[in-house]
C-alpha cells in the first residue's frame, strides 16, 4: 500500500488494482467467477470519465518496424519514468507524481499539466486492460450483459480506451445489446475517424 503520508490520485477501487497498470495480459489469468467480474465492473465504473475528454486517451502505441523509422514519441519515455516510480495503481500518489515530473523536467521532457494528464492516462490503461479481459477472455456473456455493453458504449463516446471498448463490443457481438450499442455508435457524432472506422468495420 501507499505510505500513510502520501496522497492517492486514484479512487479506492483502483488503488486495490492488483496488477501493474501497464501490463496488458495479467487479467487473462483470472477466473470468471462472480467476485472477479464484480471487481472488473467496479474498475470500469471508476475509470469512466464523467464527460467526453477534449483529447482521447491513451495515446496509440507506437511500433517501430525498422531502423529507418522515427524514434519512439516522447510520452513513452515519460511512461518509463512512471513505471519505475509507481508500478502499481496504489503507488499513484501526488508525491510520487511530483517526483516523476521533476525527473522528466530534468530530462527536458514535457511537463505541462503533468499530474492531470498522467493520472488520466494511467486510468485509461487500466480501463483498456479490463475491457480487453471482459470482451475477449470472458466466455459467459450473460454475466456481462448488459453492464459491459453499456459501459463500453460510454467509453467510446467519452474518448477513454475507445479502441478497446469497440473491441469488447466486437467480441460480444452475439449479444443483441452489443450489436445495438455498435449501431448507436455508428450514428454518434464526434467520434475520431479511426474509431468511427472501427465501429463501421464491426457492423459490416
Confidence class of residue 30 from pLDDT cuts 50, 70 and 90?
confident
Report pTM.
0.93
**Could you give phi then psi for residue 22, rounded to 5 degrees?**
-105, 10
pLDDT tens digits, 129-168 = 999 999 999 999 999 999 999 999 999 999 999 999 999 9
R_g of the chain computed on alpha carbons:
18
Which of 81, 76, 83, 86 lies closest to 7, judged by CA? 86
CA separation for the pair 171, 110 (Å, rounded)? 37
Confidence class of residue 32 from pLDDT cuts 50, 70 and 90?
confident
Residue 124 has pLDDT above 90, yes or no: yes
Lowest mean pLDDT among 54-68, 141-155, 168-182: 54-68
User: Measured over all CA atoms, what is the biggest interatomic distance in the chain, rounded to whole angstroms?
Assistant: 53
Residue 68 has pLDDT above 80, yes or no: no
Amino acid at each position: 500500500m501507499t505510505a500513510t503520508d502520501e496522497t492517492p490520485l486514484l479512487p479506492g477501487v483502483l488503488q486495490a488494482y492488483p496488477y501493474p497498470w501497464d501490463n496488458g495480459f495479467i487479467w487473462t489469468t483470472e477466473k470468471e467467477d462472480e467476485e472477479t467480474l464484480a471487481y472488473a465492473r467496479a474498475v470500469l465504473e471508476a475509470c469512466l470519465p464523467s464527460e467526453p475528454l477534449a483529447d482521447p486517451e491513451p495515446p496509440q502505441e507506437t511500433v517501430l518496424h525498422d531502423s529507418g523509422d522515427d524514434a519512439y514519441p516522447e510520452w513513452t519515455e515519460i511512461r518509463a519514468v512512471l513505471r519505475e516510480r509507481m508500478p502499481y495503481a496504489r503507488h499513484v500518489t501526488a508525491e510520487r507524481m511530483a517526483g516523476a515530473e521533476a525527473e522528466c523536467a530534468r530530462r527536458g521532457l514535457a511537463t505541462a499539466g503533468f499530474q492531470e494528464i498522467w493520472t488520466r492516462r494511467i486510468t485509461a490503461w487500466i480501463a483498456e486492460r479490463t475491457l480487453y479481459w471482459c470482451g475477449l477472455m470472458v466466455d459467459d456473456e450473460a454475466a456481462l450483459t448488459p453492464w459491459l455493453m453499456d459501459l463500453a458504449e460510454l467509453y467510446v463516446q467519452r474518448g477513454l480506451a475507445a479502441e478497446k471498448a469497440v473491441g469488447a463490443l466486437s467480441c460480444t457481438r452475439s449479444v443483441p445489446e452489443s450489436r445495438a450499442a455498435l449501431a448507436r455508435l455508428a450514428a454518434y457524432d464526434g467520434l475520431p475517424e479511426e474509431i468511427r472506422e472501427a465501429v463501421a468495420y464491426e457492423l459490416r
